[in-house]
Copies of this chain bind each other. A is one copy, B any other.
Amino acid sequence: MILPDRRKRVTIKDVAQAAGVSTQTVSRVMNKFSYVSGETRQRVEAVVEQLGYRPSTLARSLIQQRSYTLGVVTFGLKYIGPSRTLNGVADKADELGYMLLMKELDNFNTNRIDDVIDSLLARQVDGIVWVAPEIGDNHAWVEERMNKIPVPVVFLAMRPREGIPSITTDNFRGAVMAIQHLLDCGRKKIGHISGPLTWWEADERKRGWHEALKAAGIDTSEKHFTEGNWSSSSGEQAFIQLLESFPEMDAVFVANDQMALSVLREAYRRGINIPDQLAVVGFDNIHESAYFHPSLTTISQDLQLLGEQAVQNVVEMIQARQVNQPVIAQSRFIQPTLIVRESSK
Copies of this chain, count: 2
Q: Which residue of B lies closest to A100 (CB)?
A: B102
- Flag whether A59 is at the interface (Cβ < 8 A): yes
Contact B103 A99 (CB under 8 A): yes
Report the Cα distance A235→B147, complex, angstroms.
Answer: 51
A7-B150, A78-B304, A288-B288 known; A122 vs B232 contact (CB < 8 Å) = no
A95 to chain B, nearest CB (A): 10
B residues near A58, Cβ cutoff 8 Å:
58, 61-62, 67, 122-124
A222 to chain B, nearest CB (A): 26
Residue tally, chain A, CB below 8 Å to B: 67
With A4-B148, A57-B123, A100-B103 already in contact, 12 other A-B pairs whose C-beta atoms are closer than 8 Å: A7-B148, A56-B62, A58-B62, A59-B62, A69-B123, A87-B104, A90-B104, A94-B106, A232-B288, A233-B291, A235-B291, A258-B287
Provide a sorted-by-A list of 26 A–B residue pairs whose CB atoms are within 8 angstroms: A6-B121, A6-B150, A56-B124, A57-B122, A58-B61, A58-B124, A59-B62, A74-B90, A77-B83, A78-B83, A83-B83, A83-B86, A90-B104, A99-B101, A99-B102, A99-B119, A99-B123, A100-B103, A101-B102, A102-B102, A232-B288, A233-B291, A236-B291, A258-B288, A265-B291, A268-B293
- Flag whether A301 is at the interface (Cβ < 8 A): no
- Flag whether A246 is at the interface (Cβ < 8 A): no
A176 to chain B, nearest CB (A): 27
- Flag whether A223 is at the interface (Cβ < 8 A): no
B residues near A61, Cβ cutoff 8 Å:
58
Task: From B3, B55, B57, B104, give the contact of A94 (CB < 8 A).
Answer: B104
B residues near A258, Cβ cutoff 8 Å:
287-288, 291
Report the Cα distance A123→B265, complex, angstroms.
Answer: 50
Report the Cα distance A118→B149, complex, angstroms.
Answer: 30
Residue numbers of A with Cβ under 8 A of B are: 3-9, 54-59, 61-62, 67, 69, 72, 74, 77-80, 82-84, 86-87, 90-91, 94, 99-104, 106, 118-119, 121-124, 145, 147-150, 231-233, 235-236, 258, 261-262, 264-265, 268, 287-288, 290-293, 304
B residues near A87, Cβ cutoff 8 Å:
77-78, 104
